[in-house]
Structure 1
Amino acid sequence: MDDMEENATPVRTAGRTPHRAWWVAAVSGLAIVAAGAFTTMSGLLIGPLHAEFGWSRSTIGIAVSVNMALYGLTAPFAAALMDRFGIRRVVLAALTAVAAGGGLTTVVTQTWQLVLLWGVLVGLGTGSLAMAFAATVVGRWFVRRRGLVLGILTAAGVVGQFVFLPVLSWIADHHGWRPALLAPALAALAVMVLVRPLLRDHPADAGVRPYGGTVFVEKPAAVPGAARRALRVLARAARTGPFWLLAGTFAICGASTNGIMWTHFTPAAHDHGMPVTVAASLLALIGIFNVAGTVGSGWLTDRADPRRLLASYYAVRGLSLIFLPLLLAPAVHTPLVLFVVVFGLLDVATVPPTVALAREYYGEDGAIVFGWANAAHQLGAGLVAFLGGVARDASGSYDVVWTAVGALCAAAALLALVLRRPGPRTVTGARPGTGGATAPCFPRA
């Protein structure tokens, strides 16, 4: 069946049925949801692991930091591997990794095992299904609605990260952390059943045009040397100013979301007397507003200057984090709910404009360049996840970390305004099979 589809001729039309691209986006979204559930589980593991094994928060933070760093570093290689072996194979391998890593973490007894399973295996799997994966799917299957679809796929990650968090928190509170960790592992296995029949690597495999495209696009040949290509793109991009500005802002984005909020908000709120289940519910509420904020940001990215959007997002996010220590209390009150709404709308809203800028600057290599920016995102996240634990162990409080990260967000807002839009140097002669995608011009300023 696969061979027949890969050799299909471009005679099929969408008619009145949904375009095949929407089915691909749907199953991709489910894979992202399944992987996303693992990315916020760290906050639920810190307390139980500390209580059961006596490990310090900074020691547990090492495994969390490795997880976040590999999550980011895997993304650009995963994007290149998708060009080499196909999207479906990489997605199946990634889901296998997160299911195995999450399931085996329930039997750890030593910290090195936690680092290997939760840090390495889960980090590699979730990184392969990160935002660079979404950018690859959107770039291949959509010509129109790219910003909107990217916002939806990013929101899918948010659903996995936050919407199921109260349920997982309840399971951990009533049945222990091990059953709570097994739940997303089983979900990942379930999604694998849908990936094989529904996910296709390229519109040509299904004999259709990309959504919104006017011509049929032949499937490009597999690109050998995936690792070399990812490194080669990094070497070229690293010689340009926009790359460092995008990577710098996205590193701060990671520090202010995954690094401090997703990892340490629950234990920080618990330090102020708030029950863990209530804190997890607030994170879930952030996730609900993430969906609206991310989809809205994708819509705005199709219509407004991405640089100004980024500057606005980082500035308001920074202010909200600086005020957060004053809002934490044993009970939920109106100012804290307002924080949850504002932070939720801005939390992942940075993704669509960052992807759009990477595509504008680097054309067909934009997904890989964004993957490297995402690596910076996770390195920033991992550093702050570790330092947050160190600060808590040393001072008994997270207050200084919230303030410092808020100041970093102000710096990110300024960096976003320094970016210049690509000029007429952009080259439009893309290689065959890219659907007319812009070839990379690698600007130097």
Structure 2
Amino acid sequence: MPWYHGWNVVFAGLVFQAVSFGVALYCFTFFVEPWSSEFSVGRGEIMVIFFILQGAMGLLAPFAGRAMDRLPIRALVCGGAVSLALALVLAARATALWQLMAIYGSFVVGGTLLAGPLAAQTLTARWFTRRRGFALGISTVGTSMGGFFLPPLVTWLQAEYGWRDANDILAVGVVLAIVPLSLLVIRNAPRPEESVIERHAAVASAGAHPGISPGSRAWTVKAVFGEPTFWFMVIAFSLFSLVNGGLQQNLAPFGLDHGIDARDTAWVMSAMALLMALWKVVIGALTDRVEVRWIFVFSVAAVLLAMLLMSTSLTFVEFGMVGLLLGVASAAHLPLLAAIVSRHFGTASFGLVMGLIGPFSTLAAAGPWIAGEIRDTSGSYDAALLVFAALLIPALISILLLKLTPVQRNPAVANAA
């Protein structure tokens, strides 16, 4: 059977997600202490930048989603890379905290929205019918790749050159890593002759995924908002993301409180990201076979165990275990959400539905700020852990109320696959 270009598209998505999310999100925690010292502000004030970043990403996500459904994604991804590179260059010349807030609330938002998971998942959903969950699972590995490769690189650059020069170096790397590959590989959808490869397996797809809505249906905003499934997703995944984001973005400062320096934390985050990458592929495959609600419940249990460890006096080994547990939990977010959206809403409006979830995900932006403010006020993260544990309760209730057509495997289809 000839090589399917869809896998090249998935690879390109892995790269641009790794770079954009690795630089903007996974490495944000390593800028907290340098910025805090240079601008003489507390951790809570620094976390306002992250709040603005995620909040703006959420508010603008519907527009990005609509653009993914209507415009060449290749051009959008390249534009996102340029936006992120410009943000890094401008941030390197910032003289006040408000300037960083403005940069992260505009240019960094453009980079992460246009050259991030929304573009990669939209492309993957269009290019794959058979084993779509598996392909989406691989696609979401890109963000974890960024978490694996970027933290050691960024902390090394900061130690050798300072955070400002490190930003300039990263800006060049962003453009070189994303733009040429995207121009060569990305197309919005397969050509008719390429579709034949997937079409031969499409007969199996209906048997493997009876709950997937036809990709040809175009949902309106009103129809999406009228679906209970949409609102259960919003509540469950927004709260789950709030907790995970709050813990991860405070991981480096939390480590410092326990005598663990930034470079050691960087290696923990890399291990966490590697586990996330592997676990996302597993989860992506499981969504083709297993009830997604129970995968979500398992992931919440991992977060609770991580917070239980964080409430004690940590050794480096226990700190590493926290990172790994958070990796297991965080890995579930994108594959599960993408699987639910593609199964219930189909692929024609995939970008729209994912984008509409965005404004509600701005709630997740409060997580790092909540934890940072509580730490600045009380001197520890203990109260923040209790707040996060309480927020996971409505998330669990919402996911358990979610109604999806059960996945049924046809033995004949499974053998053919």
Q: TM-score normalized by structure 2?
A: 0.86
Q: 1:279-318 maps to which residues of 2 (within 5 A)?
A: 279-318=265-304
Shift of 1:288: 0.9
Instruction: Please give the secondary structure, in 1, of the residue aligned with 2:311.
Output: helix
Distance (Å, rounded) in 2 between the aligned partners of 1:383 and 1:32: 23
- Residue by residue over 1:142-179, the C-alpha shift from the partner in whole angstroms, topping out at 9 and shown as x without a partner, is 11221112111211111113432022112213321123
Cα gap change, 1:215/1:164 in structure 2, threshold over 3 Å: closer, same or farther?
Answer: closer
Among 154, 157, 164, the alignment partner of 1:168 is 154
- Residue by residue over 1:122-157, the C-alpha shift from the partner in whole angstroms, topping out at 9 and shown as x without a partner, is 022202233322221112111122111211121111
Instruction: Please give the secondary structure, in 2, of the residue aligned with 1:316.
Output: helix
Among 368, 383, 400, the alignment partner of 2:352 is 368
- Asked whether the equivalents of residues 33 and 253 of structure 2 are also in contact (C-alpha less than 8 Å), the reply is yes
Shift of 1:99: 0.9
The match for 2:239 is: 252
Shift of 1:181: 2.6
Shift of 1:109: 0.7
Cα gap change, 1:211/1:352 in structure 2, threshold over 3 Å: closer, same or farther?
Answer: farther
The match for 1:384 is: 367
**Alignment partner of 1:35 is 2:20:** yes
Cα gap change, 1:328/1:381 in structure 2, threshold over 3 Å: closer, same or farther?
Answer: farther
Shift of 1:207: 4.5
- Asked whether the equivalents of residues 142 and 213 of structure 1 are also in contact (C-alpha less than 8 Å), the reply is no
- Residue by residue over 1:310-356, the C-alpha shift from the partner in whole angstroms, topping out at 9 and shown as x without a partner, is 12222332232233231534xx12x3333333322221223222212
- Asked whether the equivalents of residues 96 and 189 of structure 1 are also in contact (C-alpha less than 8 Å), the reply is yes
Residue 400 of structure 2 aligns to which amino acid in structure 1?
L
The match for 1:71 is: 57
Q: Matched residues, percent identical?
A: 24
**Alignment partner of 1:26 is 2:11:** yes
- Asked whether the equivalents of residues 51 and 368 of structure 2 are also in contact (C-alpha less than 8 Å), the reply is yes
What value does the CA root-mean-square deviation take over the aligned residues?
2.2
- Asked whether the equivalents of residues 83 and 110 of structure 2 are also in contact (C-alpha less than 8 Å), the reply is yes
Distance (Å, rounded) in 1 between the aligned partners of 2:241 and 2:393: 14
Instruction: Please give the secondary structure, in 2, of the residue aligned with 1:328.
Output: coil
The match for 2:172 is: 186
Q: 1:43-442 maps to which residues of 2 (within 5 A)?
A: 43-190=29-176, 191-204=178-191, 207-209=193-195, 212-214=198-200, 233-258=220-245, 260-329=246-315, 332-333=316-317, 335-363=318-346, 364-377=348-361, 379-422=362-405
Shift of 1:375: 4.1
Instruction: Please give the secondary structure, in 2, of the residue aligned with 1:89.
Output: helix
Distance (Å, rounded) in 2 between the aligned partners of 1:65 and 1:299: 33
Cα gap change, 1:200/1:137 in structure 2, threshold over 3 Å: closer, same or farther?
Answer: same
Distance (Å, rounded) in 2 between the aligned partners of 1:327 and 1:337: 13
- Residue by residue over 1:6-59, the C-alpha shift from the partner in whole angstroms, topping out at 9 and shown as x without a partner, is xxxxxxxxx54x211111111122111111122122211111011112133232
Instruction: Please give the secondary structure, in 2, of the residue aligned with 1:326.
Output: coil
Deviates more, 1:366-375 or 1:106-115: 366-375
Shift of 1:286: 0.7
- Asked whether the equivalents of residues 299 and 328 of structure 2 are also in contact (C-alpha less than 8 Å), the reply is no
Shift of 1:374: 4.2
The match for 1:442 is: none
Residue 195 of structure 1 aligns to which amino acid in structure 2?
S
Distance (Å, rounded) in 2 between the aligned partners of 1:28 and 1:300: 21
Distance (Å, rounded) in 1 between the aligned partners of 2:196 and 2:399: 31
Shift of 1:80: 1.4
Deviates more, 1:127-136 or 1:243-252: 127-136
- Asked whether the equivalents of residues 70 and 127 of structure 1 are also in contact (C-alpha less than 8 Å), the reply is no
The match for 1:441 is: none
Distance (Å, rounded) in 2 between the aligned partners of 1:354 and 1:102: 30
Does 1 or 2 have the higher relative contact order (CA < 8 Å, sep 6+)? 2
- Residue by residue over 1:204-236, the C-alpha shift from the partner in whole angstroms, topping out at 9 and shown as x without a partner, is 2x84217522499xxxxxxxxxxxxxxx84443
Shift of 1:268: 1.1
Q: How many residue pairs are counted as aligned between the two chains?
A: 387
- Asked whether the equivalents of residues 327 and 336 of structure 1 are also in contact (C-alpha less than 8 Å), the reply is no
- Asked whether the equivalents of residues 169 and 276 of structure 1 are also in contact (C-alpha less than 8 Å), the reply is yes
- Asked whether the equivalents of residues 40 and 161 of structure 1 are also in contact (C-alpha less than 8 Å), the reply is yes
Residue 357 of structure 2 aligns to which amino acid in structure 1?
A
- Asked whether the equivalents of residues 78 and 115 of structure 2 are also in contact (C-alpha less than 8 Å), the reply is no
Shift of 1:193: 1.6
Cα gap change, 1:50/1:117 in structure 2, threshold over 3 Å: closer, same or farther?
Answer: same
Residue 343 of structure 1 aligns to which amino acid in structure 2?
L
- Asked whether the equivalents of residues 136 and 339 of structure 2 are also in contact (C-alpha less than 8 Å), the reply is no
Distance (Å, rounded) in 2 between the aligned partners of 1:319 and 1:368: 35
- Residue by residue over 1:255-307, the C-alpha shift from the partner in whole angstroms, topping out at 9 and shown as x without a partner, is 1222x123111011101221111112111111011011111100100111112
- Residue by residue over 1:369-410, the C-alpha shift from the partner in whole angstroms, topping out at 9 and shown as x without a partner, is 123334433x13311122222212211222211232133224
- Of Structure 1 and Structure 2, the greater helix share is in 2
- Asked whether the equivalents of residues 98 and 122 of structure 1 are also in contact (C-alpha less than 8 Å), the reply is yes
- Asked whether the equivalents of residues 244 and 326 of structure 2 are also in contact (C-alpha less than 8 Å), the reply is no
- Residue by residue over 1:182-219, the C-alpha shift from the partner in whole angstroms, topping out at 9 and shown as x without a partner, is 34322220120221122112212x84217522499xxx
